[in-house]
Amino acid sequence: MPPPPPNLLDSLPVGVLATDLAGGLVWWNQAADDLVGSAMDLREGRSIGDVVRVDFDLLAVVAQVIETGLGYTNQAATLMNRSDQAIDVGIGVAPLFAEGHDLAGTAVFIQDYTGLRRQVERSRHAQRLQDLGEMSAMIAHEVKNPLGAIRGVAQVLAGECNREDQHEGLEVILREVDRLTTLLDQVLGVARAELRERAAVNIHRVLDRVVDLLRRELGEQAGQRLAAEYDPSLPHVGGNEDQLVQVFFNLVKNALEAGPAGTPVILRTRLSAVRMALSKPQPGGARMLVVTVIDRGPGIAAQDRSRLFTPFFTTKRHGTGLGLALCARIIEEHGGEIRFPEVRKGGTRVEVYLPFARVED
């Protein structure tokens, strides 16, 4: 049974494995390798039942398809992936025929439902953000104009006022107007966080800029806590460098503030192990890299996880709750995703997935 043309099945986000009549592996695509194991696990002749670890007897199903010549469609199952994590998948098995119409084996299809469900949730969240952003932008626009007038009048009065107690009161007004104006600018930033001019971006240049900015703002000691674990072979991502700097500046600064003084914050870049359904479809864009930020702080409470990207939700004493919402909006505009996977031993792990640059970037 000849393999399919190279790169044809590797472009699919669905895992595909072919077996011979005995249920032994013949070939597989990249998505299957990403889902079920390393190249050492996937080798020709190995039993499909040993490779694809699901909660039913897959080898028996393959044998049934070979015996009857009838396909087996979309069995909902739990799969242990290459990271030994249980994920929800759909399994399908179809007969494969040789050129002479003789049965030659089977094709096993694995659809990762986790990614699809996450994509649906992202779409819902994006719509909620858009609706909230439009409403907030309208309110912010209406409020900023009178605030400007109030500030102007207060400045004039402060210049003419001779009484110290009244002058102090006017300074409070000016200070609070400036604070509200800054907050409104942040609200407008979330509402208008569209992708600016697009280009091929070196993610390590972005992270180097972030480290330099944090050293300048927080001091050299903060910079010394940052430990870089970069994969220099990674390709460029498509997007806007300044906006990506803004995202990672927020995430890394949060990590530094969350961890105890002196503890390291790890910045890691890797090729994404699992193909993702993109929030913004892009030609051939399922391959991604992932930037991981790891700190040793107290971690994220279970009850807070579902609200992390909700505007105005914050666990910080003086936070506005707009930083992560803005980061999520920018990464979404780049066709990527931010994840906060659970960490068993404490601390926080942030994963930012970004698609490779397109040819036209």
Q: Judge whether residue 294 has pLDDT over 80.
A: yes
What sections of the chain are H helices per DSSP?
30-36, 48-51, 58-68, 113-160, 164-191, 203-218, 220-224, 241-258, 323-333
- Written as six digits, the tokens of 19 are 């077996």
CA distance 258 to 347: 8
Highest mean pLDDT: which range of 115-129, 133-147, 295-309, 328-342: 328-342
pLDDT at 247: 92
Q: Would residue 66 be called left, alpha or beta, if left means φ above 0 and alpha means ψ between -120 and 50 degrees?
A: alpha
Provide the pLDDT for residue 284. 42
Query: Does the residue 280 lie in any domain?
Result: yes
According to DSSP, residue 101 is labeled S
**Pair (172, 233) in one structural domain:** no
Tokens of 276: 């993702």
- Residue span of the structural domain in which 288 resides: 199-355
With 70 as the cut, is the pLDDT of residue 125 above it? no
Query: Would 56 be classed as within a structural domain?
Result: yes
Question: Is there a contact between 328 and 313 (Cβ–Cβ < 8 Å)?
Answer: no
Nearest to 113 by CA among 93, 92, 89: 89
Question: 4 in a domain, yes or no?
Answer: no
Q: Averaged over 189-208, what is the pLDDT?
A: 80
Closest C-alpha to 16, from 28, 4, 7: 28
Residue 13's closest CA among 104, 69, 83, 90? 90
User: How many CB atoms within 10 Å of residue 351?
Assistant: 17
pLDDT of residue 303: 76
The answer to whether position 361 is within a domain reads no
Whether the pLDDT of residue 292 is over 80: the answer is yes
pLDDT confidence tier of residue 281, bands split at 50, 70 and 90: very low
Looking at residue 283, its pLDDT comes to 42
Residue 58 predicted with pLDDT over 70: yes
Q: What pLDDT is stored for residue 285 in this prediction?
A: 43
Residues 175 and 221 in one domain: no
Quick one: the chain helix, strand, coil %, rounded to 5?
Answer: 45, 20, 35
Whether the per-residue pLDDT at 95 is higher than 90: the answer is: yes
What's the structural domain count of the chain?
A: 3
| Residue 249 domain-assigned (yes or no) | yes
Residue 106 pLDDT class (50, 70, 90 cuts): very high
Most trustworthy range by pLDDT among 171-180, 232-241, 256-265: 232-241
The last residue of one of the domains, among 191, 209, 243, is 191
Task: Compute the radius of gyration of the chain from its Cα atoms.
Answer: 26
> How is residue 269 written in tokens?
């870049």
Out of 126, 160, 191, pick the residue that ends a domain: 191
Nearest partner of 222 among 298, 291, 295, judged by Cα:
295
Kindly report the number of other CB atoms within 10 A of residue 277's CB atom.
Answer: 15
Residue 189 has pLDDT above 70, yes or no: no
Whether residue 277 is predicted with pLDDT greater than 70 in this model: the reply is no
Residue 232 has pLDDT above 90, yes or no: yes
* Mean pLDDT, range 308-334, rounded to an integer: 73
DSSP H helices in 18-57: 30-36, 48-51
Instruction: State the average pLDDT over residues 93-103.
Output: 86
**Confidence check: pLDDT of 180 > 60:** yes
Rounded percentage of the chain residues whose pLDDT exceeds 90: 25
Separation in Å, CA 24 to CA 52, 79, 82, 130: 12, 19, 19, 49
Q: What is the dihedral angle through the alpha carbons of 268, 36, 238, 120, rounded to the nearest 10 degrees? A: -110
Do the beta carbons of residue 42 and residue 30 sit within 8 Å?
no
Residue 133 pLDDT grade (very low, low, confident, very high; cuts 50, 70, 90): low
* Confidence label for 313 from pLDDT (cuts 50, 70 and 90): low
pLDDT at 248 over 90: yes
All residues at 6 or more sequence positions from 4 whose CB lies less than 8 Å from its CB, including other chains: 27
Which of 112, 140, 172 lies at the terminal end of a domain, its last residue? 112
Task: Give me the helices (H) in 220-299, please.
Answer: 220-224, 241-258
For residues 35 and 315, the model is more confident at 35
CA angle 277, 207, 193 (to 5 degrees): 55
Q: What is the CATH number of the domain that holds 29?
A: 3.30.450.20
Least trusted range by pLDDT, from 174-188, 244-258, 334-348: 174-188
The answer to which of 155-164, 176-185, 303-312 has the lowest mean pLDDT is 303-312
| Residue closest to 227 by CA, chosen among 269, 255, 264, 253 | 264
**Same domain assignment for residues 205 and 346:** yes
Do 176 and 62 belong together in one domain?
no
- Both 28 and 57 in one domain: the answer is yes
Which pLDDT score is estimated for 335? 86
Using a cut of 0.85, tell me whether the model's pTM lies above it.
no
- One domain for residues 336 and 313: yes
| 114-123 pLDDT tens trace | 766 666 666 6
